[in-house]
Each structure stands twice: as structure tokens, then as C-alpha cells.
């Protein structure tokens, strides 16, 4: 049930950070001073900042027209759930509350509106991840024909999903540019970013498992309550967290029966939107910590418990209907345990416990849905097309331009997609440029999110480059008077197989293709160019992250000693970029497990609106990282590629939190709220000591 956010609050402010007025000035200094002079008459209203309290019949209602704060509630049963619980030897229950945290991109949101009254053309610069979607919405909101709206998303300093949303501020700035006839620019400060840009990750996850005495999980029941904040609209949806979480609760495990209840609730907080591994982080964290506890209760090692429940053959259709095309679940677990020295660590853990020291080991086995195309979107409950397009062109001088609808904001598409085109066309990567982020130059598409760009972007570039390659060979075949199949391309040279002295440069062939009418066959297009779209089946990366930590029993402080990550993203296009993605995501996961939390008081006031109060991990909080790669190519994607962007944040909070709870067990069973701050850890230890 949508609850759209007005571009400026009208009559009622529903969260701290919601814009109520706008000031336009010649420079920022004047604008800041003028804003201080604006007086708003506020009448305090009761606030609700906890999802479960918002569900109560007497809770303050955010949207009176709805008459409730519950915007979505649905129970789904898959498999014989009641039969599974009837057959179980043991029933286990656990509740977790994952923390609300944010993307914190180095570059905050910003935009610039330039409107030309003579032509009616709006040029809009924005740090968005979805230029074409923003263009469409600006056209609809402002009543400007779409072909007269140009969105340019230049080099963006980080997005992580936060910049997928079409924000009210963008609409306001575009409107002001139009009505004033002057360029209008807005760049938010960090306080605005923390209070008004989308938040993420907060869910209450209640799990119930039916388990045999030997450790086999027969069925799971899950209740997922998403705190969606004040509004639910487009990509900032109250549903995005719990609905995504529901699909991934079974994870890498063979669970034959599963029931989930998804609830989305509005509260007096900033709206929730996408953030790296949206929804999946909460589900992964709750399930892996839950499985650790079940293993302990059954007297099993947590690694052995996982072995007994892993999916072992592929393709595998999960109880939720996802088709895992391939994977290395057992292999990644065993490799991670080997690299961390698991057996020796368990022995050392017992020795240190006798000395009063708390060493912990946390295991997080994960599957990462990637190639977010139309199929996986439908499976996840988001029925919108998710295809993208690429145009590959060789110009008359033999140089290559690749225009793509996916958008790069730090992922290295300029390198990886250039690699794909260069390899297929047989040219140097230095002769290839990749263009993105300009709706007048790049073909239409959905943009970058959900670990889709390597698979979909790489696939569409490969398809277009292959068609251009065939055109090149046909032109060269007429120039060299041989069949196209007798030609090879290497290092920018087209030559006859077995007779390399009979050759032409890419420049000669391209120049002839454009300017020599004699080499074009009947029906042949004169340009060396092709546009292709790609909307593949879903493919799934996987991996295992193992963390070793030590907890100070007197202070509750956690020291991370080592993290091992074994990932499998199929065919790697660029190992250096893969490692960068994994490292960055792990760092964010450490923040989510130990430090980061958006905290509101009972009146709806945000208490963590600066980096003085909102704690982010720095390089000193990141321990030794060991990253290892397995390669299980996908059988359903071009080149066997899978995505890699989200696994680290998906799995690291579970691994780090698992290590902490393992270190202080049995006190760990007293903790259900993340992050695991020293106060929470020490409180659990003291409560356990006091009995």
C-alpha cells in the first residue's frame, strides 16, 4: 500500500529531516543565513519509532487516510510446514532485531538543474544510480516531454543503493530551475544525508525451526517485520527489506518446508530504501546466528551442523522457487575453515577459556542472488522489467565506443566492460571507451543495483560486440577476398588464418566500412555498430566468511583478529576489482555488526545525525583479511559470470556477530539486538555471571 512522500511537507511532518521549505540564493552562504530566518510553527504530535509499537491498535497513525501503520501483511506457506513440525524431535525459537544503518557514501546527494526556456530543454545533473528512471519521473512530475529531459549522472562518489531512490529534493530542484530560468544547485551536507536520505537494514526477525535429533532442519517459520520509516514509495519502499529477506531465509540450506509472514510498518523515521544486500543482511544474520545456537543445543559443532543441511547438487530449486544454477557451498565452507585453521582454533578457544579469555569463531555461509533481471524481480515480489542495453560502435578510425545503460559509481565498469568488448573485438583495451550516465548518449535501461552489472552489463556488451565483430569480418572478407570464417582478429589486426601476411588494420577496415561504398553488401548497414539488450535468468554467487575475535570480559570490547572470505562469483572478469568489492563490503559489514546504528528517541528525534554520534569503522577497525576465490561458472549467463557486489555485506555481520556470541557463550543467547556494542556485550556477560 503506497504512502507517497510530498516534495515538501504539507500540514504534517512525519520524520525529522523531512523538508518543509526551500530557500534559493546566489550562493550557499546567503542560503544558509536565509534558512535560519525561516520560522515554522510546529505543533508537537505523538511519535512512534518502534515497528511493533506502531502495529498496536492505539499507536499514533502516520497516514490518517490508511487508518493503520501496517502497509503490508501477508503469510506465505511453502511445502508441508505443519508436517515438518509434527515430525521434529526438537523445536527451536529465536528472535533478532537487526540495526538500522545507512550507506554513508563519501559523496552525499546532490543535483543541478539547468532549464533552457527557448527550447524547453531540462538538463539535470544528479548523483543518481538510475539516470533513465530519474529522467522518466522528472518528465512525469514536471510535465516536460521526456525527450526534452536530459539526465547526466557524472562520476558518482558511491551509491550502494541509497541513490536509487527518486528523491523529493531532486523534483524540487528541477522545478525551481524551470520556474526561475536559472541554474539551481543543491548538495546536501552530512547531517542532511544521515537524517533525510534513505535508511536501511532494520528488521525484527522471529525464527522457528523444526529439527531432527541428528541436526537435519525439516522446516522453518519466519516472521519478518520491516520498519519502513515514514513513507513507502518507488524504490524507497517499506516492503523492500522484509520481502527481500523472506526469499533468502533458507539460504544455502536444503529446507523442504518454509512459512513466512512479511509485515511492513510505517514509523516516524526516515524512509527505508535499498542498501547493498537489501533485506538479505537481516535474514542471513538471523538465520546463521540461529543455526549456531541450534548446533550448540544439539551438541554439534556449528560447521558440522551446516554440513548436514547444505544443498549439494545443482541445479537446485529451493522451496521459495529460486533455481540455484550452480555453486560451491561445501567447497567454500571447507576452504574457509582450512584457511582460518578451524580445528586448531577450537582447541585454542578451550585453552583460553580456562584462562578467563573469550575467543570466538563465527561462520557465515551465504548465497547471493545476482543478475537482477525480470525473472528474479518477479520471484522477489517486485514485478518490473529489469533488462538493460548496450551499444557498441567502432568509429571510422577503428576506435571503440561502448555506451551502456548500467551506471558505474565505483564498481570499475569502465575497466571490466572495456575488457569484454576488447577481447571479443580483438583490440587493445586502450582503444575502448565506456560511456554511461548520460540519458542522451546511453541506451535506455534500469541502471545499476543488486549485483547485476557484471552479468547483465557484461552480457549485453558481449552480444553487441559479437555482432560488430561479425560486421568487421564481413567487410574485411570483401577487402581481402576470402570468406569471413577464414579470418581472425588479434591486436587490432584482421588477417587470413594461416597467412598472417595477408592482413588489414582495424583502422583500414573501419575506414572502408564507413567511406568505401564498394565493400558494403546488399542489405548491409554502413555503420559498425550494434545495440543489444540482455535480461538473463537469475544466477547465484556464494561464499563463506569466517571471523575470529576476542572479547574483553571486563569491558565488552571486541577485537577482530582475522577474517577469511572465500567467494565464488563464477568467471572473474577482473580479480582485482572482485577483491576490492569483497573488501569494501566486508568493512561495511563490520560496521553493521559492531558500530553503526541510527538511533531515535521516543519523540522521534534522531540522535545520530553526525559522524560524532554515528560510528563508522575506519581502516584500524578492519582486521587482517584473507580473500580466496573459487570459480564455478554459471551455466545460464554469457561467459559464466555471476555478480559479486553484495556478498561481503550480506554475510559479514552474521560472521562477526557469530564470533562474538560464540566467544561469550552461553551469555550470547541473551543478546538479540545489533550492533554488538561493548555495553550490550558486557551486560550479557554480567547477567550470565549473576545467573
Closest by CA to 492, choosing from 469, 516, 475, 461, is 469
157 DSSP assignment: S
End-to-end Cα distance, the chain: 46
Q: If 0-12 CB within 10 Å is exposed, 13-18 middle and 19+ buried, where does residue 601 land?
A: exposed
Q: Dihedral of CA 295/300/304/307: which sign? A: negative
pLDDT value of position 76: 98
Closest by CA to 564, choosing from 337, 367, 358, is 337
CA dist 406 and 389 (Å) reads 8
- Write the pLDDT tens digit of every residue in 419-434: 999 999 999 999 999 9
- Write the pLDDT tens digit of every residue in 305-364: 999 999 999 999 999 999 999 999 999 999 999 999 999 999 999 999 999 999 999 999
Closest by CA to 436, choosing from 71, 154, 652, 157, is 154
Spell out the domains of the chain, with CATH numbers in brackets.
103-196 (3.30.365.10), 325-371+538-691 (3.30.365.10), 382-534 (3.30.365.10)
419 DSSP assignment: H
What φ, ψ does residue 219 adopt, rounded to 5°? -170, 160
621 DSSP assignment: G
- As a whole number, mean pLDDT of residues 579-583 equals 93
pLDDT value of position 456: 82
What φ, ψ does residue 405 adopt, rounded to 5°? -85, -20
Q: Tell which wins on pLDDT, 66 or 535.
A: 66
% of the chain beyond a pLDDT of 90: 81
pLDDT value of position 662: 97
Residue 645 pLDDT level (bands cut at 50, 70, 90): confident
CA dist 576 and 557 (Å) reads 33
Closest by CA to 248, choosing from 656, 675, 565, 651, is 651
- As a whole number, mean pLDDT of residues 100-126 equals 96
- Write the pLDDT tens digit of every residue in 16-26: 999 999 999 99
Q: What is the 3-state secondary structure (H, E, C) of 314-351?
A: CCEECCCCCEECCCCHHHHHHHHHHHHCHHHHHHHHHH
- pTM value surpassing 0.75: yes
pLDDT value of position 235: 58
Q: What is the 3-state secondary structure (H, E, C) of 507-537?
A: HHHHHHHHHCHHHCCCCCCCCEEEEEEECCC
Amino acid at each position: 500500500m503506497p504512502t507517497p512522500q510530498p516534495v515538501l511537507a504539507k500540514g504534517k511532518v512525519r520524520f525529522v529531516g523531512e523538508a518543509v521549505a526551500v530557500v534559493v540564493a546566489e550562493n550557499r552562504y546567503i542560503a544558509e543565513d536565509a534558512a535560519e530566518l525561516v520560522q515554522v510553527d510546529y505543533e508537537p504530535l505523538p511519535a512512534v519509532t518502534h515497528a511493533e509499537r506502531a502495529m498496536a491498535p492505539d499507536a499514533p497513525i502516520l497516514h490518517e487516510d490508511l487508518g493503520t501503520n501496517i502497509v503490508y501483511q501477508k503469510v506465505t506457506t511453502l511445502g508441508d510446514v505443519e508436517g515438518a513440525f509434527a515430525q521434529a524431535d526438537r523445536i527451536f525459537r529465536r528472535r533478532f532485531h537487526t540495526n538500522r544503518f545507512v550507506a554513508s557514501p563519501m559523496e552525499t546527494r546532490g543535483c543541478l538543474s539547468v532549464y533552457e526556456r527557448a527550447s524547453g530543454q531540462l538538463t539535470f545533473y544528479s548523483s543518481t544510480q538510475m539516470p533513465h528512471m530519474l529522467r522518466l519521473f522528472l518528465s512525469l512530475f514536471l510535465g516536460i516531454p521526456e525527450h526534452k529531459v536530459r539526465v547526466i549522472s557524472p562520476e558518482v562518489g558511491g551509491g550502494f543503493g541509497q541513490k536509487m531512490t527518486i528523491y523529493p529534493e531532486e523534483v524540487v530542484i528541477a522545478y525551481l530551475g524551470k520556474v526561475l530560468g536559472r541554474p539551481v544547485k543543491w548538495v546536501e551536507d552530512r547531517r542532511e544525508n544521515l537524517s533525510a536520505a534513505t535508511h536501511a537494514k532494520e528488521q525484527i526477525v522471529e525464527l522457528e525451526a523444526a529439527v531432527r535429533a541428528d541436526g537435519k532442519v525439516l522446516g522453518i517459520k519466519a516472521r519478518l517485520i520491516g520498519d519502513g520509516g515514514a513513507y513507502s514509495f518507488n524504490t524507497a519502499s517499506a516492503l523492500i527489506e522484509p520481502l527481500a529477506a523472506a526469499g533468502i531465509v533458507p539460504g544455502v540450506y536444503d529446507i523442504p518446508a518454509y512459512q513466512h509472514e512479511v509485515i511492513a510498518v510505517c514509523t516516524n523515521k526516515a524512509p527505508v530504501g535499498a542498501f547493498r544486500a537489501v533485506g538479505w543482511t537481516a535474514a542471513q544474520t538471523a538465520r546463521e546466528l540461529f543455526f549456531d545456537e541450534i548446533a550448540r543445543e544439539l551438541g554439534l559443532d556449528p560447521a558440522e551442523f551446516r554440513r548436514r543441511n547444505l544443498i549439494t547438487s545443482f541445479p537446485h530449486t529451493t522451496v521459495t522457487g529460486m533455481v540455484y544454477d550452480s555453486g560451491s557451498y561445501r567447497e567454500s565452507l571447507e576452504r574457509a575453515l582450512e584457511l582460518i585453521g578451524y580445528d586448531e582454533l577450537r582447541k585454542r578457544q578451550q585453552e583460553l577459556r580456562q584462562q578467563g579469555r573469550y575467543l570466538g569463531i563465527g561462520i557465515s555461509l551465504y548465497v547471493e542472488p545476482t543478475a537482477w533481471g525480470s525473472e528474479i524481480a518477479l520471484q522477489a515480489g517486485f514485478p518490473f522489467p529489469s533488462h538493460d542495453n548496450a551499444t557498441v560502435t567502432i568509429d571510422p578510425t577503428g576506435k571503440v565506443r561502448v555506451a551502456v545503460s548500467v551506471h558505474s559509481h565505483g564498481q570499475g565498469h569502465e575497466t571490466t566492460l572495456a575488457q569484454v568488448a576488447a577481447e571479443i573485438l580483438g583490440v587493445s583495451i586502450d582503444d575502448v571507451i565506456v560511456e554511461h550516465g548520460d540519458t542522451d548518449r546511453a541506451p535506455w535501461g534500469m541502471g545499476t543495483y543488486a549485483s547485476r552489472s557484471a552479468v547483465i552489463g557484461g552480457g549485453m556488451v558481449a552480444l553487441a560486440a559479437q555482432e560488430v565483430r561479425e560486421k568487421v569480418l564481413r567487410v574485411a572478407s570483401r577487402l581481402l577476398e576470402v570468406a569471413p570464417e577464414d579470418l581472425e582478429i588479434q591486436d587490432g589486426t584482421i588477417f587470413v588464418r594461416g597467412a598472417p601476411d595477408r592482413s588489414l588494420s582495424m583502422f583500414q577496415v573501419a575506414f572502408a566500412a564507413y567511406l568505401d561504398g564498394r565493400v558494403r553488401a546488399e542489405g548491409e548497414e554502413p555503420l559498425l555498430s550494434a545495440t543489444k539488450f540482455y535480461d538473463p535468468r537469475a544466477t547465484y554467487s556464494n561464499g563463506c566468511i569466517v571471523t575470529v575475535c576476542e572479547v574483553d570480559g571486563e569491558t565488552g570490547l571486541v577485537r577482530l583478529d582475522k577474517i577469511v572470505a572465500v567467494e565464488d562469483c563464477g568467471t572473474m572478469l577482473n580479480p582485482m576489482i572482485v577483491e576490492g568489492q569483497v573488501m569494501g563490503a566486508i568493512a561495511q559489514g563490520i560496521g553493521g555488526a559492531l558500530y553503526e546504528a541510527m538511533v531515535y528517541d521516543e519523540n522521534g528525534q534522531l540522535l545520530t545525525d553526525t559522524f560524532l554520534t554515528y560510528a563508522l569503522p575506519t581502516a584500524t577497525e578492519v582486521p587482517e583479511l584473507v580473500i580466496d576465490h573459487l570459480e564455478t561458472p554459471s551455466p545460464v549467463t554469457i561467459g559464466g559470470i555471476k555478480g559479486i557486489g553484495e556478498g561481503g555485506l550480506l554475510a559479514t555481520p552474521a560472521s562477526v556477530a557469530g564470533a562474538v556470541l560464540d566467544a561469550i557463550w552461553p551469555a550470547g543467547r541473551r543478546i538479540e539486538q545489533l550492533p554488538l556494542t561493548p555495553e550490550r556485550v558486557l551486560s550479557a556477560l554480567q547477567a550470565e555471571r549473576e545467573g
